[in-house]
Amino acid sequence: MSRLIMKIAVAGLALTIATTNASAAFLDSFFNDLFGPMSPQGRQVVRINGNHNVGDIIVSFGDRRLYYVESKTVAYSYPIAIPKAEAKWSGVSYVSQKRENPAWTPTADMRRENPKLPAYVPGGDPRNPLGTRALYLGDSLYRIHGTDAPWLIGQQVSHGCIRMYNEDAADLYRRAKVGAKVVVTWDRMRTM
């Protein structure tokens, strides 16, 4: 019990110091050291084995990360939100189209689950769950897209789509080509 009280007291002190010094980086580091990661790590450059083609996108639901293969040995790694248990899927697809500020129309299942959802949200609306960029996967309803709820990145929340921070979705949008191979797996990616 006294250890918990000590942690809470130290956390309160750290919060006071961080707000006084406006040191968000210190606060993140402190809480990560004390309690473990509070949010997923951001975009990273990682080393990979050479089994993928340049331009491939590998979505690892096991890692809760998306990897864009930059070269035979390097990939950009982005944190993602993944599908809920009942929406789990895997397979190979491709980027069939890319859209800036895509409009969103929820499926009938989504509206049955939440009748308060609007029938349509125009592109560019800050409440649009697709965020600012979307990569459409094959002829499915699945997309890799930004989000209007960045605090859910790292969580198991979607109906099958792969959510990213808007700035990461914009970065991937710039890199990825229409026709790019997309591998979606529950296996973990082997990085070095």
pLDDT in tens, 121-176: 999 999 999 999 999 999 999 999 999 999 999 999 999 999 999 999 999 999 99
Catalytic choice (145, 158, 160, 183): 145
Residue 9 in any domain: the answer is: yes
Q: What are the tens digits of pLDDT across the range 68-78?
A: 999 999 999 99
Q: What is the domain extent for residue 147?
A: 44-185
Same domain, 12 and 80: no
Same domain, 16 and 104: no
Q: Is 38:165 a contact under the CB 8 Å cutoff? A: no
**Residue 57 annotated as catalytic:** no
The separation between CA 28 and the C-alpha centre of its own chain, rounded to angstroms, equals: 19
Taking the whole predicted model, whether its pTM rises above 0.75 is answered as: yes
CA distance 33 to 134: 35
Same domain, 27 and 53: no
Same domain, 62 and 29: no
Classified as helix, coil or strand, 146 is coil
Same domain, 75 and 98: yes
**Residue 161 annotated as catalytic:** yes
Catalytic choice (81, 161, 169, 189): 161
